[in-house]
Amino acid sequence: MNPDKQTFTLDGKTIPFCNGQTIIQAAMDAGEYIPHLCFNPEFKPHGSCKLCTVKADGRTTASCTQFAQDGMVVESNTKEINDERRVLLQMLFVEGNHFCPSCEKSGNCQLQATAYELNMMSPHFDQFFPDRPLDASHPEYFLDLNRCILCSLCVRASRDVDGKNVFALSGRGIKSHVIVNAQSGQLGDTDFAGDDKAAQVCPVGVILKKRVGFSVPIGKRSFDEQPISATPHPVVKEA
Amino acid sequence: MSTTLETATNPENLRRVAIDPVSRVEGHGKVTILLDDKNKVHQVRLHIVEFRGFEKFIQGRPYWEVPVMVQRLCGICPVSHHLAASKALDAIVGAKHLTPTAEKIRRLMHYGQIFQSHALHFFHLCSPDLLFGFDSDVSRRNIVGVAEKYPETAKRGVLMRKFGQEVIRHTAGKRVHGTGAVPGGVNKSLTIAERDELLKGIYQMVAWSRDAVHMIKELHHQNPELYNSFGAFRANFMSMVGYDGGLDLYHGTLRGRDENGNIMFDGVDYRNYTDLIGEEVKNWSYMKFPYLKSLGKEKGWYRVGPLSRVQNCDFIPTPLAEIERREFVAYSGVMPMHAPLGYHWARMIEMLHAAEMIKDLLHDDAITGSELMTSGVRGIEGVGVIEAPRGTLIHHYRVDENDLVTMCNLIVSTTHNNQAMNEAVRRVAQQYLNGHEITEGLLNHIEVAVRAFDPCLSCATHALGKMPLEVEVLNEAGEQLSSLSRSAEGVVCSLN
């Protein structure tokens, strides 16, 4: 086996990869889009959102945790898999309070963009309408936990890059939620700072810089210009 | 001024006729009428079942979300809420004076809103009544009927509304529920291409607007008895006027006149609106009844909107609309015009003014500028007032040290006009229902009176001539004696 010429097929396209790469990493390097939310190529995979589920040699698996193998046949953009991804998205929407019409992340939100990509036309399920707090105690940033999808990217960024452990997941099952590392439970009482990596990674509208709001006009937001599938590594615009 | 039909002396012996629902965008409304054995009207009430949840659930949200969130109050005039909230929140970010680009982009957005809303109201919703007659064949009394008999009029209505929507799109990013205004300014100016696209159409819009004024004026002249008396009642006026006394729909001070046209107050800083206006709660309506505190609850109610604005200002600062204003005032004579149908005439004068303002702004280089935002000393409280298409709109917010809204108070134009709309409905009931058997055409007379005030309400009630209605006649025991229904398809039938 020549390690420099290892390939697998993704929906019939030949994708080269290196030893140790996962399916989604190799696909991204090749410019191919596999829907995902909790995966960010800068961080160790978490495998929790399951949006990146594919069929590899007929077996269902998360493409962010499954290593690519030479000759593997991977199916991703099929009706069956996209139908299941759409259900996952619908569950994420109803478990939180995602009010896109008044959300300042609208147009820059990976959850919203992925829902558009997968033609999610309605939440389908009954809304949970959970009672979640908004933490505006920090002078420069605020947390709107209504929009949290528990991707844990903030947890990983704060721990692995910032070395601060500002964020953590607490609770179990449907009661899982993000907490911050302060006795008061308030972001303003942590050592969180605006230049932390954790301030930049939220794929939805939970960790937001204050007083930015709707300063980017409609038409100039990340996913106004191109769908998320054309942006394998989403770069969300800062105002 | 009169409120004599608000409460019957002995309601227990009267039959109750209910028009329910008089549906509308922001909720439901109904008209209830109490009649005696001879069908004499003893009590008429317009009930607006309005859910004002926004004032509550905006609390605890970051202030910069507010202009985008509160505009969801309405699908017809979201720009008005968007701008009133932005004006209020300018005070929070300390923006005492916007940049010229921001001020003019906001004004352009606002005049686009006035233009499209007035066009929608007049051509789509009211012209069927005015052109065919209030009790004409219901199957033709809609915009499709207008398009068949008056195709040029219908076409102009559609294209004028479209133009206004395009102005909004270029300034706010979307035709409905955009994001253009932000606390302290705007998030975009016009590109040269956007400006040039609008310039291509604006001269036609000015010409068509003038034709529309002439059309409604002609209707008044053809049938002055109807137009001057239909639902007419005397009332105070209130509106915002510019600092120079001219018509200014975006910014200025509050002025009020009594029913004889005499100025009661002028130059009132709208930030002090709570000193001027109180709100009364009545146990039969979910909507409050605002009143001028100086006159008290009984005599202090007033009317807002085009009929007030055009008669309240000293002049209109655009030439063609000013000519029409003078003719309107001359037609009224010494006393102000109080007839509800005068709203349509005044509304068309405002539409012409909006078209002229858009034209002027499109020739102003500031609208393509790049200085969009300003800020200053942080504030904790802000009041924003704007003249929305259907009247004075007040937004008031308080914000805490963490940037979250702690208080929100909204007084929308429909609320200001609550008592006035009730009076108009009572007059129409007295004029047309007294002693008569109820018919669909008579029901529509009541709708015509409501429709003259408030497109937010009338748009839903009219529903392009397909408003579903049910009228029930009950005896004193609450038992149904007879009923009449009109389906969404416009079919009228007896339910018994």
Please state the ipTM of this predicted complex. Answer: 0.92
- Chain A residues with CB under 8 Å of B180 CB are 217
pLDDT at B94 over 60: yes
Domain assignment of residue B475, yes or no:
yes
A135-149 pLDDT per residue, tens: 999 999 999 999 999
B171 CA: distance to closest CA in chain A (Å) = 10
A155-159, B53-57, B140-144, B481-485: least confidently modelled range: B481-485
Using an 8 Å CB-CB cutoff, list chain B residues near A213.
62, 64-65, 68, 182-183
User: Residue A224's closest chain B neighbor by CA?
Assistant: B173
Residue range B364-383: mean pLDDT, rounded: 97
Contacts of A101 in chain B (CB under 8 A): 68-69, 72, 177
| Contact with chain A for residue B164, Cβ under 8 A | no
Q: Which amino acid is at B456?
A: C
Asked if residue B351 belongs to a domain, the reply is: no
Supply the pLDDT for residue B18. Answer: 65
Q: Which residue of chain B is at minimal alpha-carbon distance from A135?
A: B402
Find, in chain B, the residue whose alpha carbon is nearest to that of A140.
Answer: B402
Q: What is the pLDDT of residues B239-280, one digit of tens each?
A: 999 999 999 999 999 999 999 999 999 999 999 999 999 988
- Does B179 contact A210 at a Cβ distance shorter than 8 Å? no
CA nearest B141: which of B462, B446, B492?
A: B462
CB contact under 8 A, B404 and A218: no
Mean pLDDT of B444-450: 84
Neighbours of B100 (CB within 10 A): 14
Cβ density class B470-491: b for 16+ within 10 Å, e for less: ebbbbeeeeeeeebbebeeebe
pLDDT digits over B272-288, tens only? 999 999 988 777 776 77
Chain B residues closer than 8 Å to A211 by CB: 64, 93, 403
**Which B positions 279-318 lie with beta carbon below 8 A of chain A?**
none
Chain centroid to Cα A34, Å, comes to 12
Distance CA B372, CA A215 (A): 10
- Residue B187's nearest CA partner among B373, B367, B374, B362 is B373
Strands (E), B15-55: 15-24, 27-35, 41-50
With CA atoms as reference, the chain A residue closest to B375 would be A211
Q: Is residue B89 part of a domain?
A: no
Q: Which of B274, B300, B335 is the last residue of a domain?
A: B335
Question: How many Å lie between the alpha carbon of B39 and the closest alpha carbon of chain A?
Answer: 49
Total count of domains within chain B: 2
The verdict on residue B270 lying in a domain is yes
Average pLDDT over residues B132-139: 83
Task: Tell me, yes or no, whether B349 lies in a domain.
Answer: no
| Last residue in a domain, options B317, B335, B353 | B335
Question: For position A233, what pLDDT does the model report?
Answer: 64
Q: Give one word for B338, left, alpha or beta, with left for phi > 0 and alpha for psi -120 to 50.
A: alpha
Closest chain B C-alpha to A112 CA, distance in angstroms:
17
What integer pLDDT is reported at residue A3 of this predicted model?
55
CA pair distance B34, B418, nearest whole angstrom: 19
- DSSP per residue over B77-142, as a string? SHHHHHHHHHHHHHTTTT-SS--HHHHHHHHHHHHHHHHHHHHIIIIIIIHHHHHH-TTS-TTTSS
- Across the range A89-93, mean pLDDT stands at 97
Its domain, for residue B453, covers 11-51+417-494
Q: Which domains does chain A have, with CATH numbers?
A: 7-77 (3.10.20.740), 83-213 (3.30.70.20)
Q: Do A101 and B68 touch (CB under 8 A)?
A: yes
Number of H helices, E strands in chain A: 5, 10
Q: Is residue B111 part of a domain?
A: no
B236-241/B302-303 β-pairing: parallel
Please indicate whether, in this complex, the C-beta atoms of B69 and A102 are within 8 angstroms of each other.
Answer: yes
Give the per-residue pLDDT at B36.
83
- The Cβ-side half-sphere exposure at B387, using a 13 Å CA radius, reads 32
Q: Could you tell me the two tokens for B113?
A: 């809103």
Q: Tell me whether residue B310 is in a domain.
A: yes
Closest chain B residue to A105, measured at CA: B65
* Per-residue pLDDT at B459 exceeds 90: no
Q: Does residue B440 register a pLDDT over 80?
A: no
Residues pairing with B153 in the sheet: none
Q: Best of B106, B402, B404, B406 to disrupt the A interface by mutation (most A CBs within 10 Å)? A: B402
Say what percent of chain B tops pLDDT 90.
Answer: 60
- Which of B278, B308, B335 finishes a domain? B335
Instruction: From residue A215, give the alpha-carbon distance in Å to each of A117, A239, B76, B78, B382.
Output: 25, 6, 24, 18, 20
Mean pLDDT of A28-34: 94
Sort B64 into a burial class: Cβ within 10 Å, 0-12 / 13-18 / 19+. buried
What does the pLDDT look like over B4-19, one tens digit per residue?
Answer: 787 877 777 777 766 6
Q: Residue B495 pLDDT > 80, yes or no?
A: no
> Given a cut of 70, is residue A91 above it in pLDDT?
yes
How much is the pLDDT for B461? 27
CA atoms of B442 and A8, how far apart (whole Å): 75
Exposed / middle / buried, residue A36 (Cβ in 10 Å: 0-12, 13-18, 19+): buried
Token pair, residue B163, equals 């133009």
Confidence of residue B482 (pLDDT cuts 50, 70, 90): low
Q: Report the gap between the CA of A211 and the closest CA in chain B (Å).
A: 6
* pLDDT confidence band for B73 (50 / 70 / 90): confident
Measured between CB atoms, which of B65, B183, B402 is closest to A104? B65
Question: What pLDDT, on the 0 to 100 scale, is given for residue B475?
Answer: 58
Query: Tens digits of per-residue pLDDT, B172-226?
Result: 999 999 999 999 999 999 999 999 999 999 999 999 999 999 999 999 999 999 9
Q: How far is B325 from chain A (nearest CA, A)?
A: 38
Task: List pLDDT tens digits, range A35-59.
Answer: 999 999 999 998 999 999 999 999 9
Query: In degrees rounded to 5, what are phi and psi of residue A202?
Result: -60, 120
pLDDT at B464: 34
Q: List the single range of B286-295, B360-369, B388-397 with lowest mean pLDDT.
A: B286-295
Which B residues, 337 through 396, put their C-beta within 8 Å of a C-beta on chain A?
A: 373
Per-residue model confidence (pLDDT) at position B140: 81
- Residue B474: predicted pLDDT: 60
What residues form DSSP beta bridges with A25?
A: none
Does a structural domain hold residue B359? no
